[in-house]
Structures are given as C-alpha cells and as structure tokens.
Amino acid sequence: MTQEPTEKLSNVQIAWRAAQDIADGAYVNLGIGFPEMVARFQPEGRAAVFHSENGILGFGKAPSEGQEDWDLINAGKKAVTLNPGAAFFHHADSFAMVRGGHLDVAILGAYEVAQTGDLANWSTGPTGVPAVGGAMDLVHGAKRVAVITEHVTKKGQPKLVERCSLPLTGVGCVTRVYTSLAVVDIEEGRFVLREKLPAISFDDLQSLTGATLHCPGPVADLIVPEL
C-alpha cells in the first residue's frame, strides 16, 4: 500500500475546509469532538446558528475558565455561552429539529464511509460498552450530512471504502467527505473526487482509497491556509 504522503491536512485544516461550505444563516449541528472545531472557521461575514442536541440553538464560544455555568452545556457536556437570539427547548423538540429535516447541515466524524453513503461512526464492534447518542438521528435528519476524517486510519487502512465493515450508524446518508487529502462527494453510489491536495497524484490518492474514485468533472486543488 502507498505510504500516506507526509503532506496532509491537519484536523484544524480539515475543519477549516468544511466550514467554507456552510452558508450564512445555516442551522448546523457539529458532532462532539473533532467536528466541533468547524465552528472556529466560519468565513468572514457569515454566521451559522449552531444546534446542540441537549436543547440549544445559537450557542457560542466556551466561557473563560472560572466563568462556567454547568447548567449551560453542549451535547459534549462542555460549558458554552449563548449568542444573541439563542433559544432553549426540551429534548423532543431538539430531535424534532433533527428528524424533521430542519437542520441544514450535520457534520460528523467517521470510522468508515462507504461509496453508497453508509456511515460507521458509533461502534468498533461487540467489545466494550456500547454508546450511540444522537448520531443515528443526525444522519437522517439534516438536509446535508457531511463527514470530516483522516483519509486513512492510523494503521494506514482506507476509511473510504466500498462497504463498511463496522456496525452502521446509517444507510445511504453521507453526501460529502472532507478528508486530510481530498474532498469527495457521494453521488449515485460512488465516490466523486472534487478536490485533492496538489502534492498527491491521483494514482496515489486512489491507492489510499478503498473504492474507485470517479472524476466526471474537473478536480480542483485543495488549498487550505496554514492554521
């Protein structure tokens, strides 16, 4: 297998790239952990409204240390603040926003994404204590479900695959994947390459991908600032 190139996007850079596709005024849910970084890179002049499953629309940055109010937390159980125009609601309303198709974008992490849009991101198998949270709801609710992820695992195995081998979070739900090497859309059961790092050849990228990358149109250079 081809070695992953030394030049690749960092997690913050992947988050930056994903943030460029979020429109002004969009209602957005960011998964816990890595996807939360996307909020830091909203382009100038755009303001999305961030949704937290536990019952907030319009939460803002973390408070400074010592200023936390532990009754004001996000789904990751971290203290947050409120932006002007924020709202609280109970859990069934929160997931009505999710399942009712009211969110514009959900961005999640992934263990594996299949060319069919299937996502595996909640369980690494039968060992340990299972926990699912809201991932299975989010993948069926938002108008657009995107994934941000390393292109390959720490062991160098492709994370973009023909079929997921791990337990599924949802079937046919992901429409775009932002990786450390490329931006890939999922259309009609196949991976469509939209952007790639200029430093990597198509053939090398293909060898790091577990399913065929299609190029029906131009492939742009994936250019992200140093962050």
Partner 1 sequence: MDKTLPSPADAVAGIADGATVMVGGFGGSGAPIELIHALIDRFLATGSPGNLTVINNNAGNGQVGIAALIAQGMVGKIICSYPRSTNSRAFIEKYQAGEIALELVPQGTLAERIRAAGAGIPAFFTPTAYGTELAEGKQIQEFEGRPYVMERWLKADVALIKAELGDRMGNLTYRMTARNFAPIMAMAAAHTIAQVSRLVAPGEIDPEAVITPGIFVDALVEVAEPAQEEALNRAEVHYP
In single-letter form, the type of residue at position 25 comes to G
Residue 20, classed as helix, strand or coil, is coil
Q: Which of 7, 36, 44, 53 is catalytic?
A: 53
In terms of C-beta density within 10 A (0-12 exposed, 13-18 middle, 19 or more buried), how is residue 119 classed? Answer: buried
Is residue 87 part of the contact set for partner 1 (CB under 8 A)? no
Q: How far is CA 153 from the centre of its chain?
A: 16
Is residue 188 part of the contact set for partner 1 (CB under 8 A)? no
Contact pick of 4, 62, 63, 89 for partner 1 (by CB under 8 A): 89
Nearest distance, CB of residue 163 and partner 1, angstroms: 12
Residue 133 and residue 221: Cα distance in Å, rounded? Answer: 36
Nearest distance, CB of residue 33 and partner 1, angstroms: 12
Contact pick of 12, 20, 21, 72 for partner 1 (by CB under 8 A): 72
Residue 92's contacts (CB-CB under 8 Å, 6 or more residues apart) are none
Per CB under 8 A, contacts with partner 1 among 143-162 are: none
Element (H, E) at 119: strand 119-120
Piece in contact with partner 1 (CB under 8 A), picked from 41-49, 88-96, 205-213, 217-225: 88-96
| Residue 53 appears among annotated catalytic residues | yes
The site for partner 1 (CB under 8 A) is made up of 52-56, 69-73, 77, 88-92, 94-95, 98-99, 118, 128-137, 140-141, 167-171
